[in-house]
Structure formats: structure tokens, C-alpha cells
A and B are shown apart, each in its own frame.
Chain A
Amino acid sequence: MERLLQYVFDGLSLGSIYALLALGLVVVFRGTGHLNFAQGEMAMICTFFTWQFHAWGLPLVVSVLLGMVAGFVLGAGVEVSLIRRVAKKSEAGVFVVSIAMFLGFNSLAGMIWGNLPPEEMPSLFPDEPDDFVKIFGAVWRYEYIGIMIVALLLMGLLFLLFAKTKFGLAMRAVASNPESARLVGIPTGVVLAASWGIAAAMGALSGAMVGGLAGELTSLLMFTPFIYASASATLGGFDSPGGAVIAGLLIGVGEQLAAGYAPGWIGQELRLGVALVTIFVVLLFKPSGLFGSTKVERV
């Protein structure tokens, strides 16, 4: 019982990071209909920005906020300067450009920060060995609790943004029909740039939390979380923000349970495999994810 509770709790905490990143993918997909393959690498570069601000002497919380601002500028800038222009030429081109950004950002981070000794990344939350409470016998580390609260808070804010504000309405309008949205006077360009910016800023936040968990920064920081996030977005359905969050948490809990209860077979190495096989099976039966809407095409 304690073990089960422990796995579920750890899973929910990790899952909330996946959910945050997955939400970024979904925001971009709903806005522009593209998969941003470089989402993880953009988050990674923003985490290095955060680290740099902190190294210059700013308090960590301020650095993280500045990192998120840098993420917003980076995301919006990429959309305006590259994605928008290439999308006019070809749809597949956007995918190719995002792969190019994946390579470019990864290499750039290595070139700028890679030669320093491994960066120590401080955690946003208390992370000394004895920073935990025991609830029903399970260890609840403050860091994990903090991550979960921040992630849930941000997701709550996002849902308010989508559902209650004029900007959110504009975003939904652009997502459902860009042509008509433009006709009724919505500045589609601004909305699209902002979606990319928001997604990248969320990436920056999850990057700071992943970096704090890992304790050090490398250019590979966000690769595995990105794979988990894309698995979550796929499982939940790429056009469903709620689905992405639920799927992220499910994958987090599922992999902890699988790794914990079958250490001989699955263990730590095959945790990722469990997530990937799950989406493979789900897609066989529900091709647009658990909560995604089926696309109906007019012939």
C-alpha cells in the first residue's frame, strides 16, 4: 500500500512535468497545425538562459521568470521569422525546419555552454536529503510537491486564458478556422506568434524544474522529457489540452508502477519503452488519441 502510494505520487509529480511540456505541443498544434519537433530543445536553451541569469547573481525565481520571457521571445520570434514564411511554401517544410532547429539549438547550447564544467542547476524548491514529509508512510519530497503545485497552477492559468479571456477566444477561433477568424478581424498573425511564445515559455518553466531535479545541465537535458511529452500529447489527442494533461499524468504514474512492480523485467531502462508501447497500442484502436477529435475531411 505504501509502495503503491509512493509510485502514484512520484508518477503524478513527473507526469505533471510531461503534461506541461505536452500542453506546449498542443498549444502550437492547435494554433498552427504543426508539430514543433524543437520544443524540447527550445526549453533546454531557455533553461541555460535561466542558469546564466542566476549565475550573474539574480535570485533564482527572477531568473526563471526571465528565462520564461526569453522563451516567449524565442518562440514568437521563431514563428514570425521562420515558421510562418516556410508554411506558405510547403506544409512538410515546417516539420523539416523544426528538425533543423532541433539540431541547431542543440549544437548552439553545446558550443556556448558545453565547455564549462557541468553546470550545477539549483532547484526551485528545498531539495536537501531530509526535505520531505511522510504521509501514509510514503515519502513526499518537497521538491516533488512543489513541481506538482507549480505545474497545476500554470495549467489552471492556461485554462482560464483559453476559456475566459478574449485572447483565448481568438486563439480558439484561429484554431478552428483561420480564414473566418481573419475575416472577422482577429489578428491571426499575433495570435499564432503568441501561441508559439506561450508554448516556449511553458517549456522554459518545465526546463527549469527538470534541470533542478537532474541537478546539472547538459544539452541533452530535455530530450527524454520531450519524448514523454510527445507520447502524452499523442495519447491524449493532439488537439485536446485536457487530454494532454490527463495523458501526461497517466503516463507518469504508469511508468512508475511498471518500473516499480516489475524491476526485473522493466526496471529503470525500459520505463520509456512502456510509455511508447502504450501509445502504439492506443493509436491502433483510437487513431486520434484518447480525447482527440476525429478529423472529418470533405472530399
Chain B
Amino acid sequence: MVKVNQGSPQHWALRTLGVALIALVVVWVPTQMSTSRIGQFSDAFVLIIAAMSLNLVLGFTGQISIGHSAFFGIGGYTAAILIKDHGWSPGYTFYAAAVIAFVVGCLIALPALRIKGIYLALVTLAVAVLFPTLVKWKKLAWLTDGAKGIDSVRYDEIPVWPILGELKGRDGRAVFAYWLAFVLLVITYLVCRGLVKSRFGRSLVAIRDNETAAAVMGVNLTVTKVLVFGASAALCALAGVLSTLRTGVITPEGQYVTLLGSIVFLLIMVVGGAGTLWGPIVGGLVYVWLDNTTRGFGSESDGVIGFLFGWSDQSPATLILGLALVIIMFAAPYGLVGLIKRLWAKVVIVVPKPAGTSLPTTGH
């Protein structure tokens, strides 16, 4: 066991090492891996952004939402409609989607001011179920193309980025989507980090831990809850735009547009660690890995997996996810990040700076 002082050269060396390792992996994926593998990572990044947005509302503020798939869908549809029907350049659709989702998020938060816990869960459940129904509504077909959704959303020119050079063809598009998703992921992470470590973030945690006490301490419950819901919706819409740009398709029954999407975001956040900044990142990568690995399990598998799941033609992927979720709740209630922190603490302990020592001393 090693003890390291916060802010000491050793601490900085450890941090630099960590960042370098991550940077290595991030660059290694698009340069060395197959196109389908790159696609899986982009998919993971999209999900991580969505889970991060949910984390703001659920993990940090303690307001249950299973309606985030609707915000994801709003983002996806905004991008598809603006690009295809109105000829917008894809870059601007991010802003439009964020603004629309922010407004919708704030509106949905209004009943959230008065209702709590289970009732809030059910209102957001209603939102999640309502969104695909509305999109399929025949009176809105002029906008959303009804049940068949909007396909072949194309952007013609891929901007030439300084280091990447010119990206061409299908593989080039995959690499471009990967970097786009990565940049957005970093931005989302920084926004969340900025929010959480600010005065605003402290009031979120105060609301989560004890709403009455937070109000007594001077936190404006109304403004804080509405704003955090709006911000979270806007971030989730960005993930939706990204998904549409990556796949070129959005349908009302699409993977993350229905209630199942909300469940996936929640699962990622819980598995990674709710209320932590790194939770969604770890959770998203683990989810996509687990999903892609277990999808192939079935009658063709051999060995233990064949013995366990060979009796059914259908993939046990969802069952395994459910089991994983239960195991996590029992073995690591604070998620994988909580688990990693606990194990890491046995190797290296970062001793925090004593409070007040970094203040400039006034001469006496």
C-alpha cells in the first residue's frame, strides 16, 4: 500500500499515466480495429452520453426518470427532419436539438416539482411510452413519416480534420463518427463535471440527500430541479442526434427511442456507478461489450455456454443483462466504479490536502 499526497508530484505522475493510457486506447481503436469494432465503440459513446445525462437527474439529484428515451428520440428526430426536409448542415442540428429538448425537459419537470419517488417514476414512464405513440400518430405523419420512420439521413461532405486527413468511404465514415462521438463525449463529461463540482452541483446533491434540509439551507428547489431536468434532456438529445448521424436512420421503434432505451441508460448508470462522473463511462463500455458477446450465445455455442443456453434458439442476452444487474446490486451497490475505488484503495491511498492550507498566507 502506498500513500500519495494530493497534488504532490507522485499524484500528478499517476494522473498523467492514467490519462496517457486512456489516450492510447482512444487512438488505438480507430486506427487498428475493424470497422464493426469501431462502430461498437461509437455506439458505446452514444450510450455513455445518454447515461451521463440521466446521471445528472437520477444519480446526483435523486429524481427517478425512465423517460430519457423520449429526449433521445427528440434529438434523433430533430436531426433527421432538419437535415432531410430542410437541408440543414448536420453540425447545427446539435444546437437545435439541445434547445428543443431543454424546453421539453423543463416542461416535463413541472409536475416533478410537486411529485416524488414512485409518482415521478410513473410520469416519466408515461413520457417514455407516449413518445413513440405520438411519433406514429397519423396526424403527425407529415413531420415524422409515421411508423416507418426517417431513413437515409445523409451528410455529403465529411469535414477534413487536421490530423485525421481525408476520410473516405464507409470505413472513413465510421472513423469520422467515432471521433465525433468521442469529442461530444468529452464535452458532455466536462459539462457534467463542471455542473457537479459547482455551487449548482452541490445543491443537486443536497436535494438528493435531504430535500427539506436543502430548501432550509436556501436551495431554490423549483429552479434547480427544472434546470437540471432541462440540462439533462438537452444532453440526452445530443446523444440522439449523434445516433441518427451515425446510423442514418431513426424509427419510432428504434433501439433507444422506446422505453427499452430508458432502461438501458438506467442499467448503464447503475452498473457503472450512479452519482459518479466515471460511472456511465465504465458502465457503457461494459454494457456494449456484454451485449455484443452474449448476443451470439445460443444453440450453436459449445462448452459451458452451450450447456447453459444451448436449449433455446433465442439469445439469452437480455436475461444475462438482468442477472448482471441483480448481481451488481448485491455485490457492488455503488457500481463498478465504487468497486474499483474500493480495490484501488488497497493499493494506493491519495491523502487529501488538509483544508485551508492552499490559502495564501497573509503577512504578519
Measured between beta carbons, the chain A residues less than 8 angstroms from B333 are 89-90, 93
**0/1 per residue, B122-161, Cβ < 8 Å to A?**
1101100110011011110000000000000000000000
Residues in A with CB closer than 8 Å to B114 are 283-284, 287
Cβ contact within 8 Å between B129 and A238: no
Q: Which of A93, A106, A112, A227 touches B312 (beta carbons < 8 Å)?
A: A112
For B139, what are the chain A residues with a Cβ–Cβ distance below 8 Å? Answer: 265
Q: By DSSP majority rule, is chain A's interface helix, strand, loop, or mixed?
A: helix
A93-B329, A107-B319 known; A35 vs B314 contact (CB < 8 Å):
no
Q: Are A35 and B318 in contact (CB under 8 A)?
A: no
B325 touches A279 (CB 8 A): no
Which residue of the partner chain A has the closest CB to B147?
A269
| A276 pairs with B129, CB closer than 8 A | yes
Instruction: Please tell me if the beta carbons of B118 and A29 are within 8 angstroms of each other in the complex.
Output: yes
A100 and B325 in contact, given A93-B333, A238-B118 (Cβ under 8 angstroms): yes
- Given A29-B118, A107-B318; A270-B137 close (CB under 8 Å): yes
Stretch among B47-55, B86-94, B263-271 lining the A interface? B263-271
| Chain A CB within 10 Å, residue with most, of B121, B136, B139, B322 | B322
A230 CA to B127 CA in the complex, in Å?
13
Known interface pairs A99-B267, A287-B114; A272-B133 also in contact (CB < 8 Å)? yes
- B118 in contact with A107 (CB, 8 Å): no
Contact with B along A260-284 (1 / 0, CB 8 A): 0000010101101100110110011
> Cβ of B130 and Cβ of A276 under 8 Å apart?
yes
Nearest CB of B to A78, in Å: 11
Docked Cα-Cα span, A234 to B263, in Å, equals 20
A99 adjacent to B136 (CB under 8 Å)? no
Is B289 located at the chain interface by the 8 A CB criterion?
no
A173 to B266 Cα, complex, angstroms: 34
Whether, in the assembled complex, A12 has its beta carbon less than 8 Å from a beta carbon of chain B, the answer is no
A279 CA / B137 CA spacing, docked (Å):
20
Q: Is the CB of A115 within 8 A of B313?
A: yes
Given contacts A107-B318, A227-B129, A273-B133, is CB(A35)–CB(B212) below 8 Å? no
Chain A residues positioned under 8 Å from B138 (CB to CB): 267, 269
Q: Shortest distance in angstroms between B128's beta carbon and chain A's nearest beta carbon? A: 10
Q: Which residues of B contact A233 (CB under 8 A)?
A: 122
Alpha-carbon separation in the docked complex, A100 to B267 (Å): 9
- A165 to chain B minimum Cβ distance, whole angstroms, is 27
A111 with B130: in contact, given A100-B326, A103-B263, A234-B122 (CB under 8 Å)?
no
Chain B residue with minimal CB distance to A91?
Answer: B117
B262 to A, closest residue via Cβ? A99
Chain B 180-217: CB-based contact to A (< 8 A → 1; otherwise 0): 00000000000000000000000000000000100000
Which residues from B are CB-within-8-Å of A273? 130, 133-134, 137
Chain A residues bordering chain B, tally (CB within 8 A): 50
Q: Which residue on chain B has the smallest CB distance to residue A295?
A: B116
Known: A90-B333, A103-B318, A104-B318. A283 touches B136 (CB 8 A): no
| Secondary structure dominating the interface of B | helix
Whether A103 contacts B322 in the complex (CB less than 8 A), given A111-B316, A115-B314, A234-B119, comes out as yes
Please indicate the chain A residues that have their CB under 8 angstroms from the CB of B318 in the complex.
Answer: 103-104, 106-107
Q: Are B322 and A279 in contact (CB under 8 A)?
A: no
Of the residues B119, B133, B309, contact of A283 by C-beta under 8 Å: B119
Enumerate chain A residues within 8 angstroms of B266, measured Cβ to Cβ: 96, 99
Tell me which residues across on chain B come within 8 A of A82, comparing CB atoms. Answer: 326
Query: A86-118 CB contact bits vs B (8 Å, 1 = yes)?
Result: 100110110111011111101110111011000
**CB-defined contacts of B64 to chain A, threshold 8 Å:** 92, 95
Quick one: given A86-B330, A89-B329, A96-B266, are A238 and B123 in contact (CB under 8 Å)?
A: no
User: At the interface, yes or no: A52 with Cβ under 8 Å from chain B?
Assistant: no
Q: Which residue of B lies closest to A265 (CB)?
A: B139
Q: Which residues of A contact B319 (CB under 8 A)?
A: 103-104, 107-108, 111
Partner of B314, one of A100, A110, A272: A110
Q: Residue of A at shortest CB range from B59?
A: A92
**Chain B residues within an 8 Å CB radius of A270:** 133, 137
Cβ of A1 within 8 Å of any chain B Cβ, yes or no, is no
Question: B118, B314, B325: which contacts A96 (Cβ < 8 A)?
Answer: B325
Which of A97, A227, A267, A287 has a CB less than 8 Å from the CB of B325?
A97
B126 touches A99 (CB 8 A): no
Which residue of the partner chain B has the closest CB to A299?
B212
Cβ–Cβ contact B130 & A97, under 8 A = no
Residue of A nearest to B121 (CB): A35
Interface string of A223-253 (1 = CB under 8 A from B): 0000100110110001000000000000000
A123 within 8 A of B: no
Establish whether residues A238 and B121, one from each chain, have CB atoms under 8 Å apart when the complex forms: no
Q: Report B-chain residues with C-beta under 8 Å of the C-beta of A112.
A: 312
Q: Which residues on A sit within 8 Å (CB–CB) of B263?
A: 99, 102-103
Using A99-B266, A104-B319, A284-B114 as known contacts, say yes or no to A279 and B326 having CB atoms under 8 A apart.
Answer: no
A231 to B: closest C-beta gap in Å? 7
Contact digits for B339-352, partner A, Cβ 8 Å, 1 yes 0 no: 00000000000000
Q: How far is the CA of A288 from the CA of B119 in the complex (A)?
A: 8
Q: Is B323 an interface residue when CB atoms closer than 8 A count as contact? A: yes
Q: A99-B267, A107-B316 are known contacts. Are A283 and B115 too (CB-CB below 8 A)?
A: yes
A85 at interface, CB cutoff 8 A: yes
Question: How many angstroms between the C-alpha atoms of A18 and B329 in the bound complex?
Answer: 31
A window 135-174: CB within 8 A of B:
none
- Give every chain B residue within 8 A of A128 (Cβ-Cβ): none
Tell me if A130 counts as interface (CB < 8 A to partner B). Answer: no
**Contacts A97-B326, A279-B126, A284-B110 known; A103 to B321 CB distance under 8 Å?**
yes
Question: What 7 additional pairs, Cβ within 8 angstroms, besides A101-B326, A103-B318?
Answer: A82-B326, A89-B330, A103-B325, A238-B118, A273-B134, A279-B126, A283-B123
Jot down 11 A-B pairs with beta carbons below 8 A, ordered by A.
A34-B118, A89-B329, A95-B121, A100-B323, A102-B263, A111-B309, A227-B125, A227-B129, A230-B122, A270-B133, A287-B116
Q: Which 9 A-B pairs have the closest CB atoms?
A: A104-B322, A107-B318, A100-B325, A103-B322, A111-B312, A107-B319, A276-B126, A287-B114, A100-B322
